[in-house]
Amino acid sequence: MVCLGNICRSPLAEGILQHKADKAGLDWKVDSAGTAHYHIGEAPHMLSQKVAKMNGVDISSQQCRQFKKEDMLAFEKIYVMDSENYINVKHISRELWDENKVELLLNELHPGRNMSVPDPWYGTEEGYHKVYKMISDACEVIIQKYGASVTKGNGQH
């Protein structure tokens, strides 16, 4: 899960998808990063932490890190929050860029529309609640889509 600062949106996305995957019994390792380096080592934004906690998701122990090109190899799927993140990930990844792995998160919910998860950084708590709902709805689709194929692959249904 990638955004600009790894402070507001992508920590929520990491926490939400990890929470849903754990609940569904999926052995997934979800991580997040930012394309910028402004906040390396910091915990998520207070309002991201608060809104996550209100929804039963604890993101307080996450630490901001910057996206690195090796992430392109280390992860099967990379979700970005907006098209600027997409371009930045492409630049950072250089020769390791794999277009098939990278997708705008909201394209899982609204295929082909290339919608952004808006940056709540400059706004109020309401913006964080809106962003939480968008991310959670998209992550639900991811669980249904990829979680089902994992189960099938294991011959468990």
Summarize as ranges the residues that interact with ligand 4NP (CB under 6 A).
Answer: 3-9, 34, 38, 119, 121
Measured from the CB of residue 7, what is the shortest distance to ligand 4NP in angstroms? 4
Nearest to 4 by CA among 37, 41, 50: 37
Measured from the CB of residue 107, what is the shortest distance to ligand 4NP in angstroms? 18
Q: Which residue is nearest to ligand 4NP (CB)?
A: 5
Report the residue number, 46 or 73, with the smaller CB distance to ligand 4NP. Answer: 46
Q: Is 119 a catalytic residue?
A: yes
Q: Is 94 a catalytic residue?
A: no
Report the residue number, 42 or 146, with the smaller CB distance to ligand 4NP. Answer: 42
Catalytic-labelled residue, pool 8, 9, 82, 139: 9
Query: Can you tell me whether residue 3 is helix, strand or coil?
Result: strand
Measured from the CB of residue 35, what is the shortest distance to ligand 4NP in angstroms? 8
Residue-wise DSSP of 29-87 = ----EESS-TTTTPPPPHHHHHHHHHTT---TT----B--TTHHHH-S-EEESSHHHHH
Q: Is 113 a catalytic residue?
A: no
Catalytic-labelled residue, pool 64, 71, 82, 119: 119
Measured from the CB of residue 132, what is the shortest distance to ligand 4NP in angstroms? 12
At position 94, the amino acid (one-letter code) is R
Residue-wise DSSP of 112-139 = TS-------TTS-HHHHHHHHHHHHHHH
**Crossing angle between the packed helical segments 46-54 and 125-142, to the nearest 10 degrees:** 60
Report the residue number, 66 or 151, with the smaller CB distance to ligand 4NP. Answer: 66
Report the residue number, 71 or 119, with the smaller CB distance to ligand 4NP. Answer: 119
Q: State how far the Cα of 141 lies from the Cα of 109, in Å rounded to an integer.
A: 7
* Residues that are catalytic: 3, 9, 119
